[in-house]
Each structure stands twice: as structure tokens, then as C-alpha cells.
């Protein structure tokens, strides 16, 4: 006891006494030697299952990425195929237009030739309409119909008593839709009631002053 005190006095520090609290927490965990064979087998099985699940996750992630790339590629290919099919249908119409232009530029076309040229151009127009209609293109004819902002685009209003208010009094440009998808709205002028001062007197009688 005296030797310990003298040693502490010489070093200037109190002697450190190890305690149980200072031991590492890992010392409280069971070591492999303390596990039973059944526990070791269970740990091995869990480790094997964890490896299997990890491999499955990696494969699933890789499959998902490949699916996304394949789907994107198929969408592009489908769009290109649809465009190519439509263009192939329109090419004969383009050929006929070029033939009509060549005929129109020919010098000395007689009057009956002009009429024949007009008929040919009309046939080409009908051919083009039929080709586009087969692909799902529909005209939006708004003349005389109630104004519908879904399919119509109003550029102005016109006072008139000949067409009900809110109806299309004049269509300036046709609209088109591809099946149920709007491609271009019909440009229209919408009717509105004429002002009282601009209304026509009934029976042609003069307005009261």
C-alpha cells in the first residue's frame, strides 16, 4: 500500500483502476465459440438468403433498366413506322401534283385543257383527303354550328340577326383532328345580337323619331 502511494506521489498522477464500464461493448457479444451448432447454421442460412436477395435485386434493377430502354426504342420505332406508312400513301398524291404543275406550265394550253386541268387537280385533292381520312384525319366544319371552344377558335364577332347568337356565322379556316386529338382548331367568326339602334324595323316601317 505504501509502495503504491509513493509511486503515485512520484509520478504526480493517481493510479488508474480499470473498471467494467471501460470495457468495449463488443466484449458483451457472444463469440463464435459460445454459439451452438444450431445457431451457426441459422446464421449461415441467413447470410445465404441475404446474398440471394441481393442478387435478385441487382437482376431486377438491370431488367427494369433494359425494359425502359427497350420501351423507349419501340416507341420511336412505332412513330417512325407510322410516319413512313403515311408518307408512302401520300407519295402518289405528290406525284400527281407535280404532273399537274408540269401540265399547267405547258405553253399554248387550250381553254378545254384548262378545264381538264382543274378537274385533275380536284381529283388529286380528293385523293389526298381520302388518304388522310384513312389515317384518322377528320375535318372540323363549324359553319352554322354553336361555338365550341374545344374545337373552334374565335377571332372576332359579327352582329347579325340571320344566325343565332353564339353560333358560327363564318368559318375562315377549317380545323382538323386526328381521331379525338385536336390538330388545329377551326378559325371562326361568332354571331352576336345586333345592337338595338342597329336593328331593322319590322315590316320595313320607319323607326320612330
82-131 residue pLDDT tens: 877 887 788 788 778 777 777 766 655 566 667 777 777 888 888 888 88
Higher-scoring residue by pLDDT: 160, 199: 160
* Residue 20 pLDDT grade (very low, low, confident, very high; cuts 50, 70, 90): very low
Q: Residues near 168 by Cβ (< 8 Å), separated by ≥ 6?
A: 142, 143, 144, 145, 146, 147, 152, 186, 188, 189, 190, 191
Residue 197: what pLDDT? 62
CA Rg value for the chain: 45
What is the mean predicted confidence (pLDDT) over 27-56?
79
Among 6-10, 48-52, 187-191, which stretch is predicted with the lowest mean pLDDT?
Answer: 6-10
What is the mean predicted confidence (pLDDT) over 56-72?
93
H helices within the chain, ranges in order?
A: 2-11, 37-104, 111-134
Among 25-34, 39-48, 98-107, which stretch is predicted with the lowest mean pLDDT?
Answer: 25-34
Contact (Cβ atoms closer than 8 angstroms) between residue 136 and residue 89: no
Q: Work out whether the CA dihedral 65, 71, 73, 76 comes out positive or negative.
A: negative
Per CATH, the architecture of 138-196 is what?
Roll (2.30)
Higher-scoring residue by pLDDT: 1, 205: 1
What are 191's strand-pairing partners? 158
Residue 153: what pLDDT? 95
Report residue 63 CA to chain centroid gap.
25
SS3 47: helix
* Cell matching residue 9: 506521489
Question: Rounded CA gap, 188 and 153, in Å?
Answer: 6
Mean pLDDT taken over the chain: 77
What is the mean predicted confidence (pLDDT) over 159-179?
91
Residue 8 has pLDDT above 50, yes or no: no
Residue 82: what pLDDT? 81
Question: Rounded CA gap, 97 and 92, in Å?
Answer: 9
* Cell matching residue 34: 459460445
* Residue 158 pLDDT grade (very low, low, confident, very high; cuts 50, 70, 90): very high
Going from N- to C-terminal start, the domains of the chain cover: 30-103+116-135, 138-196
SS3 168: strand
Amino acid at each position: 500500500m505504501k509502495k503504491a502511494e509513493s509511486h503515485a506521489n512520484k509520478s504526480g498522477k493517481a493510479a488508474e483502476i480499470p473498471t467494467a464500464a471501460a470495457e468495449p461493448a463488443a466484449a458483451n457479444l457472444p463469440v463464435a465459440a459460445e454459439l451452438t451448432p444450431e445457431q451457426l447454421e441459422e446464421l449461415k442460412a441467413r447470410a445465404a438468403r441475404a446474398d440471394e436477395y441481393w442478387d435478385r435485386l441487382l437482376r431486377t434493377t438491370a431488367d427494369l433498366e433494359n425494359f425502359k430502354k427497350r420501351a423507349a426504342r419501340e416507341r420511336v420505332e412505332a412513330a417512325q413506322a407510322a410516319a413512313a406508312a403515311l408518307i408512302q400513301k401520300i407519295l402518289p398524291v405528290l406525284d400527281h401534283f407535280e404532273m399537274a404543275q408540269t401540265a399547267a406550265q405547258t405553253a399554248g394550253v387550250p381553254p378545254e385543257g384548262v378545264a381538264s386541268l382543274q378537274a385533275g387537280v380536284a381529283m388529286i385533292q380528293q385523293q389526298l383527303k381520302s388518304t388522310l381520312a384513312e389515317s384518322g384525319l377528320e375535318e372540323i366544319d363549324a359553319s352554322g354550328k354553336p361555338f365550341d371552344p374545344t374545337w373552334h377558335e374565335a377571332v372576332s364577332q359579327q352582329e347579325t340577326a340571320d344566325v343565332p347568337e353564339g353560333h358560327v356565322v363564318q368559318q375562315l379556316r377549317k380545323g382538323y383532328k386526328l381521331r379525338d386529338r385536336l390538330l388545329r382548331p377551326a378559325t371562326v367568326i361568332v354571331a352576336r345580337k345586333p345592337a338595338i339602334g342597329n336593328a331593322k324595323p319590322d315590316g320595313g316601317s320607319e323607326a320612330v323619331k
